């Protein structure tokens, strides 16, 4: 995959401002290796109506919240860490919906196929430390990269990440999990119908660079909606742990 590159400051600032993002998720940093392509893609994407981006974010989080209320009954007890963890949850599910719109706007069919949180999940590793947990997260999420949310949760709250992952690892057994993920993607695709995205070749990318771009887009096209659902399920479990909701009921 190679090392991630930082975005050019002007492009970073533009994306944060126009997409309402407190930070730029990994899909953007991976694509920043192909800066000319990324700039052209951003220009084309932001030419669409900005209201649709915000409205999609609201609907995406609602889909996640509704399925969480239906399938999560286990409280996640985090004690005094609840507020900062909720802030992390809020931040990631602020950036995930517009990132999915952007990714699906650019993706052109499943050139790559990734199994992401599809049962049966891989056998968990034998270790019990943070590295083993993140290796399991990576394996269950297609093996290409570790979602940023899980990296940050493990780094900031190592005492709580194992219980969070145990809860989330059980979710794909529910048909509601995959249905909600599909609904998120379908809704995002509806929002990008008729929009024309530039191809890598149109923006001067070589065949090798185009293949790398296609792989990144294919991965995040399935990982981002998965993470929206996972994060909303953790939000619901966190609320259960704090006594903010009753099991099986929304907030």
pTM for this prediction: 0.92
Q: How many CB atoms within 10 Å of residue 84?
A: 12
Average confidence score pLDDT of the chain: 91
How far is CA 88 from its chain centroid? 13
pLDDT at 194: 73
243: its two tokens: 């006594």
User: Whole-angstrom Cα distance, residue 142 to residue 44?
Assistant: 29
Question: What are the tens digits of pLDDT across the range 76-129?
Answer: 999 999 999 999 999 999 999 999 999 999 997 656 789 999 999 999 988 789
Nearest residue to 18 (alpha-carbon basis) of 107, 103, 99, 89: 99
Nearest residue to 23 (alpha-carbon basis) of 82, 74, 87, 77: 87
87: its two tokens: 């802030």
Domain boundaries, the chain: 9-242
Question: What are the tens digits of pLDDT across the range 135-194?
Answer: 999 999 999 999 999 999 999 999 999 999 999 999 999 999 999 999 999 999 888 877
User: Whole-angstrom Cα distance, residue 154 to residue 118?
Assistant: 22
User: Whole-angstrom Cα distance, residue 179 to residue 191?
Assistant: 18
3-class secondary-structure state, position 116: strand
Percent of the chain with pLDDT over 70: 93
């Amino acid at each position: 995959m190679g090392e991630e590159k930082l975005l050019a400051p002007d492009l970073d600032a533009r994306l944060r401002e126009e997409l309402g993002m407190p930070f730029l998720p990994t899909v953007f940093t991976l694509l920043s290796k192909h800066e000319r392509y990324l700039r052209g893609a951003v220009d084309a994407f932001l030419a669409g109506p900005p209201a649709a981006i915000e409205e999609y974010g609201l609907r995406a989080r609602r889909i996640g919240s509704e399925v969480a209320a239906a399938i999560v009954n286990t409280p996640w007890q985090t004690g005094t860490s609840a507020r900062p963890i909720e802030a992390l949850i809020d931040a990631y599910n602020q950036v995930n919906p517009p990132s999915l719109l952007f990714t699906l706007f650019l993706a052109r069919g499943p050139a790559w196929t990734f199994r992401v949180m599809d049962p049966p999940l891989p056998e968990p590793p034998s270790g019990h430390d943070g590295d083993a947990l993140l290796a399991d997260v990576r394996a269950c999420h297609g093996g290409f990269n570790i979602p940023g949310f899980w990296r940050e949760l493990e780094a900031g709250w190592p005492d709580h990440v194992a219980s969070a992952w145990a809860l989330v690892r059980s979710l794909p057994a529910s048909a509601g999990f995959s249905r909600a993920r599909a609904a998120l993607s379908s809704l995002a695709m509806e929002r990008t119908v008729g929009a024309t995205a530039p191809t890598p070749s149109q923006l001067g990318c070589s065949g090798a660079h185009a293949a790398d771009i296609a792989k990144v887009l294919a991965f995040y096209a399935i990982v981002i909606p998965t993470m929206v659902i996972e994060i909303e399920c953790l939000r619901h479990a966190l609320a259960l742990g704090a006594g903010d909701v009753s099991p099986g009921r929304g907030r």
